[in-house]
Amino acid sequence: MTGSSDTPLVNILNVEKTFGDGGGFLSTAQPIVKALNNVSLSIEKGDSFCLVGESGCGKSTLARTVIGLNPPSKGEIHYQGTRIDSLSAKERQPFKRKMQMIFQNPYASLNPRMTVAQILEEPLKIHEKGMSKGAIKQKVEEVMVSVGNDPAWGPRYPHEFSGGQRQRISIARALMLDPEFVVADEPISALDVSIQAQVLNVMMDAQEKRNLTYLFITHDLSIVEHFGSKVAVMYLGTVCELADVKDLFDAPRHPYTQALLSAIPKMDGSGVNHIKMSGEVPTAMDLPSGCVFHPRCPYANERCRRDIPTLADNGNTKTACFAVEEGRV
């Protein structure tokens, strides 16, 4: 059970997730959407593991699968060596307090009919049944202060706060149970740029003080560079490149990552010759054969159209690409 140095904190093994089904009695068939295809990642303790990719590539689905909001269709999720995706709700309860989540939209993630104090007390009421009222109040105050909130906000309602303040309340809720692992699903993309940095600092601060591990989802690459330690690039439900942040930004190797990084605007104007990609992202209801990226990849050949590449250690980064393996890039 105890995480020794070689068991990762969170291990995602060959996870697949499909939505929709072929229909049954009195229900119409819905198209099957393959949101995640054979995703394997391991997150070490202390990591700020970033997940990047464009809209609809399955980042959020992966996060929700890890935290237990959507059970995986196939594959396993391990937490400190214990498989957690197959546990019953009751057996999973001790893991719930170790794994928490920060949501994207601070306007929807706080219950509009509950006061800030009620929202923050809920986790303690569920997991710390014997805790006295005074102790709960003290804990709420302590966490509020640690994320830069005024404890006097307690009796007020979420609509009285700005986006950044709400997101800090949301972070406070995630920290109430002293978790080890926090999933943050685009926690700052709904915020004003001037507030983004502030919220990011609160999160980095919490990581330092509480020894947290983050799974951080974003589509903002500059945040990855600033915040992350490891990064996985996703495209259409598959991980196409996995690397340390520094290595990835120094030398991206997967053609998709290269295109993605070249799209970052640069101050000196050198970014104008970015790699232009043709076509649209195919729909997840009808995945391309072989490598999912091949219809838009400038290096694609017959093998890419036929076989599915797997993440392989080649060079400084792990890539799922035949062109990289064969040295064609």
Partner 1 sequence: MGKPHSEVSGAKIMTRIKSFLNSDFVYRFRKDKVAVVSLGIVLVLVLSAVLAPLISPFDPYDLKSIDIMDSEIPPVWDENDGDERFLLGTDPQGRDMLSTILYGMRISLMIGFFAVLLQGILGVTIGLLSGYLGGKIDAFFMRLADIQLSFSTLMVAIITLAIFQAAFGAELYSKLAIFMLILVIGIAEWPQYARTVRASVLAEKHKEYVDAARVIGMSPARIMFRHIFPNTLSPILVISTIQVANAIISEAALSFLGLGMPVNQPSLGSLISSGFEYIFSGSWWITVIPSFFLVLLILSINLLGDWLRDALNPKLYKD
Site residues for partner 1 per CB under 8 A: 26, 64, 67-69, 89, 92-93, 96-97, 99-101, 103-105, 108-114, 122-123, 126-127, 170, 173, 177
Quickly count helices (H) and strands (E) in the chain.
11, 12
Torsion of CA 121, 145, 176, 13, to 10 degrees: 150
Q: Which is nearer to partner 1, 112 or 327 (CB)?
A: 112
Min dist CB 275 to partner 1, Å, is: 35
Min dist CB 246 to partner 1, Å, is: 32
Helices (H), 6-115: 59-67, 89-96
Q: Which is nearer to partner 1, 215 or 297 (CB)?
A: 215
Q: Which is nearer to partner 1, 119 or 243 (CB)?
A: 119
Min dist CB 67 to partner 1, Å, is: 6
Q: Which is nearer to partner 1, 14 or 86 (CB)?
A: 86
Min dist CB 111 to partner 1, Å, is: 4
Buried b / exposed e across 100-119, counting CB within 10 Å, b at 16+?
A: bbbbbbbeebbeeeebbbeb
Q: Which is nearer to partner 1, 124 or 260 (CB)?
A: 124
Min dist CB 292 to partner 1, Å, is: 28
Please name the residues in contact with 198: beta carbons below 8 A apart, sequence gap of 6 or more: 148, 164
Q: Which is nearer to partner 1, 140 or 245 (CB)?
A: 140
Q: Which is nearer to partner 1, 29 or 126 (CB)?
A: 126
Min dist CB 264 to partner 1, Å, is: 29
DSSP per residue, 250-275: H---SHHHHHHHHTS--TTSGGGGPP
Please name the residues in contact with 307: beta carbons below 8 A apart, sequence gap of 6 or more: 290, 291, 322
Q: Which is nearer to partner 1, 114 or 287 (CB)?
A: 114
Min dist CB 170 to partner 1, Å, is: 8
Please name the residues in contact with 280: beta carbons below 8 A apart, sequence gap of 6 or more: none
Please count the CA atoms within 13 angstroms of the CA of 141 that sit on its side-chain side.
8
Min dist CB 9 to partner 1, Å, is: 17
C-beta separation of 291 from 308 below 8 A: yes
Nearest to 181 by CA among 68, 91, 57: 68
| Strand 230-235, strand 48-52: pairing | parallel
CA–CA gap between residue 110 and residue 317 (Å, rounded): 39
148: exposed, middle or buried (Cβ count in 10 Å: 0-12, 13-18, 19+): middle
